[in-house]
Amino acid sequence: MKVLVAGSGGQLGRALAETRPAGVTLVAPAEAAFDIADPRAVESVVRREAPDLLINAAAYTAVDRAESERDRATLLNGTAAGWLAEAAARTRAGFVHVSTDFVFDGTAGTPYRPEDTPHPLGVYGETKLAGERAVLAAHGQALLVRTAWVYAARGQNFMNTMLRLMAERDEVRVVSDQIGTPTNAASLARAIWRLTAHGATGIFHWTDAGVASWYDFAVAILEEALAQGLLSSAVPIIPIRTEDYPTPARRPAYSVLDKSATWAITGPARHWRVELREALARVGGTLA
């Protein structure tokens, strides 16, 4: 099977390459060679490569900056997602699109199911929801996977930011009243491969197992990094409220996703702390 990946240079794009199953030929052009913001480039690359499957791992993910860059976020998360789906449909390729827990407002008291009604709080979530709708309208057999709190050994993400701050500062203050689930990019990539192998279409949710606040996640990063020798000493981690750390974009207070339908196909995910341990081991490998 020939698979074309948009966004090959991001955390998920790299993870898809690292976890690709036997029998998969992966075509992963650099951003300059596969500019999803240019509909002519999208059409040209998809027609030239003629993939069996196109995976959109590209996105505008700067949640706070999106509040002042709505047009750019809309182009990449919404309009371009539709162009990719249309190109895949015209060439009879399957299509996978990755979305986010930020399409929900965080007012639920139980995990969000794929069929629950989205209600985003900010521009990032709004543009991702627009992308979902464009994809589903353009490609009748698309697979849409919502995920949350994605991180990897390389790239700009919460885990790597915490490692840097814990090495630089005398204390770190982290929000403790936003609840979700950390997700290793490698875990997400493996789930996507399993879902596509099963021929899944429609909306599915995937994160690692368990729940955490950002504070819980930070504490776990500290403990695991100390155990692996990535940090030489512990620093205090201070829990704070969302109102104590104002940001341009509002975040959902509770964005745990219900993965039961996905796990019925893929098998259950591992706990997020197990995945964190493995991701940190990869950080150690890059430092060696």
Which residues does the annotation mark as catalytic?
A: 124
Identify any residues that bridge with 213 across adjacent strands, giving them in sequence order. 179
Give me 99's structure tokens: 């979305």
Please tell me the distance from the alpha carbon of residue 42 to that of residue 208, in angstroms, as a whole number.
32
| Residue partners of 105: CB distance under 8 A and separation at least 6 | 119, 120, 121, 252
Query: DSSP 3-state assignment of 17?
Result: helix
Identify any residues that bridge with 174 across adjacent strands, giving them in sequence order. 239
Give me 280's structure tokens: 């940190």
Identify any residues that bridge with 209 across adjacent strands, giving them in sequence order. 271
The count of other CB atoms within 10 Å of the CB of residue 243 is: 8
